[in-house]
Amino acid sequence: MDMIIYVSLVASCVSLVGLFSSGEWKTLSSEMDRYKLGKVSYVMNLVWTAVIFELSSLFSNAISALGLPVVPVLAVIIFHDKMNGLKVISMILAIWGFMSYVYQHYLDDKNLKKSIGIPTTGSSDSPEAKGSGGQKIQTSA
């Protein structure tokens, strides 16, 4: 996931370098003044366009990571392509990579919840078994 974010960040930086190196940044204030809905609306339009662009890029990369192991199977089914050893190995590696991707997100989410104090479903400590300061309370059964 970090690599996907880094690619999007580099693309945004390259776009900003292009904006400043071409001299287009000098006309932004006049564009803002001529914008019919006002300066605040102009800036909000730019900001939300950038946010949507980043999110769609992130979503696109996640979907392509999901589709990677599916493509060889569909090629065999739809195009009657032969399944040779190289395709099997590449498909196994793609599935392994995707499962690692999903598992890492699971671990990151679990660690985040643990660090902020949200109990996870696999935890043996119930929320009732802790005192207000977080210390365990001994209960007799």
User: What percentage of the chain has pLDDT greater than the value 70?
Assistant: 80
CA separation (Å) from 5 to 60, 64, 67, 102?
12, 14, 19, 16
At residue 97, the pLDDT reads 83
Q: How many Å from the N-terminal Cα to the C-terminal Cα in the chain?
A: 45
Q: What is the DSSP letter of 129?
A: G
- What pTM value is reported for the model? 0.42
Work out the pLDDT band at 127, boundaries 50, 70, 90: very low
pLDDT above 90 as % of the chain? 6
| Secondary structure E strands in 27-129 | none
